[in-house]
Amino acid sequence: MPQFSSQGIAISYDVYGDGAPILLIHGFGSSGKVNWLDTGWVETLAGAGRQVITIDNRGHGLSRKLYDAQLYFAHEMAEDARRLLDHLGIDGCPVMGYSMGARITAFLALNHPQRVGCAILGGMGENIVTGLEDSEEIITALLAESLEQITGRTGRMFRIFADHNGADRAALAACMVNSREPMGAADVARITVPVLVAVGEADEMAGTAEGLARMLPNAQAFTIPRRDHMRATGDKEYKRAVLDFLARQHR
């Protein structure tokens, strides 16, 4: 994968296909490959005539691993995404994020609205205004010596996911401290770009899509049928909703 320097931090990315660009920002513990390539998103969007750009967030995938929690605020990871657009010479494009990636996308749209033609916030509903309460459980699970030591359901889920992806668990534990940086409701209301909010029907982590869409001035909600937080990522109904949304934006 190619890399660029985001204020001295090596960030990996990839570019697939030709056409109008779209930037995809993955979730916590994942990577561009796991979140977007392995789930068929790159194929789907490239097949719709898009140039698909994926980024490995700092601490993830092939990007540089950092162990200082102060380097993982979501608003700063949004600057990595903005600098990638600068690096590629892209003035603005649609941006889609999932879970942590949706939080990053929201900060990008808030702080640099001219760079975000429209936004898709997947796996992130009204709980964007909270830091969420299970961060300590996840951090403890990531740092545990073995899976057998972990009893909490959420902690086990994230530990299994991290181990499956071969992730650097110490870097992820540092990331978890501040990557769930809350966005105030007043700031959410300042995001004026068109937004699609997509959350699984059985997602217990994100909050409802409708709840977040009501906070945004130009948003619509889509509930992904029968899917929880982990299983919604590559869902075909989710993909169809995103393609329909993008087609309506003419961007």
18-35: pLDDT as tens digits: 999 999 999 999 999 999
The verdict on residue 121 lying in a domain is yes
pLDDT of residue 250: 65
Q: What are phi and psi of 210, to 5 degrees?
A: -60, -40
Q: What is the pTM (predicted TM-score) of this model?
A: 0.95
Contacts of the segment 204-210: beta carbons below 8 A, 24+ positions apart: 204/228, 204/229, 205/99, 205/123, 205/127, 205/132, 205/134, 205/154, 205/229, 206/99, 206/123, 206/124, 206/125, 206/127, 207/124, 207/125, 207/126, 207/127, 207/128, 207/130, 208/125, 208/126, 209/125, 210/125
The verdict on residue 168 lying in a domain is no
- Domain extent for 57: 3-128+183-249
Contacting residues for 47 by C-beta, under 8 A, at least 6 apart = none
59-101: pLDDT as tens digits: 999 999 999 999 999 999 999 999 999 999 999 999 999 999 9
The verdict on residue 158 lying in a domain is no
CB of 52 within 8 A of CB of 23?
no
What is the distance between the alpha carbons of residues 98 and 15, in angstroms, rounded to a whole number? 18
**Number of independent structural domains in the chain:** 1
The verdict on residue 144 lying in a domain is no
CATH number, domain at 86?
3.40.50.1820
The verdict on residue 245 lying in a domain is yes
217-233: pLDDT as tens digits: 999 999 999 999 999 99
What is the distance between the alpha carbons of residues 246 and 191, in angstroms, rounded to a whole number? 18
Average model confidence (pLDDT) for the chain?
96
Tokens of 59: 């601490």
The verdict on residue 145 lying in a domain is no
- Flag whether pLDDT at 133 surpasses 80: no
The verdict on residue 99 lying in a domain is yes
The verdict on residue 151 lying in a domain is no
CB of 179 within 8 A of CB of 72?
yes
92-105: pLDDT as tens digits: 999 999 999 999 99
Query: Which is nearest to 251 in space by CA: 46, 19, 75?
Result: 19
